[in-house]
A and B are shown apart, each in its own frame.
Chain A
């Protein structure tokens, strides 16, 4: 099966600019996750979708971050405006069902550098 696809692979922007990341999960996977991974740390959940509904966005900085999953398939994550501390790898993952029963499948991530 095709894996989780993410684009772009790398992005460099200046602070206060906006940026968007795209994710195409594995076909048939109901749950989609966006994680932020700062260098040397474990991934931190930003938002979790079940189909096209939000399950958990408690750690999403909603003043600057937004995400959507239209039609319950692809998803985009946007940052506007970006700050220096947003420099990180943004990982998208999907799972067949809920995390209680299904392992996550990750894409290779988008490495964002904010200058």
Chain B
């Protein structure tokens, strides 16, 4: 099944800075979703962006989708220590959802 690939794999930033993660995929999709996972916990849904959408916002999160380049980005603005987590993109095709390898983000207070 298709999987997203996040880049970079690990990111360490100072509190207040912005964090950007990218995800690329290989085939056509119905939508793309971003999830956060804190250590030892399950994944939490952040944003769903459909294939006919280019940009979506939710609070401090901004997601873009470029279907021509088969890529998506997740921007976290004004990061906080609580944003320290792993972030995963997941592609959805024909109701099948497949996750990428994830980005480890560490926000230093």
* Residues of A in contact with B (beta carbons under 8 Å apart): 4, 33, 35, 41-45, 48, 55-56, 58-59, 91, 93, 98-101, 103-109
Contacts and interface: CB of A to CB of B under 8 A. Distances in A.
B43 interface: yes
Q: Is the interface of A mostly helix, strand, loop or mixed?
A: loop
Interface of B: 1, 3, 30-31, 33, 35, 40-45, 48, 88, 92, 94-102
Contact of B92 (A55, A56, A99): A99
Contacts, number: 57
Contact of A99 (B40, B41, B97): B97
B43 A45 contact: no
Nearest to A33: B97
B94 to A, nearest CB: 8
A59 B31 CA distance: 21
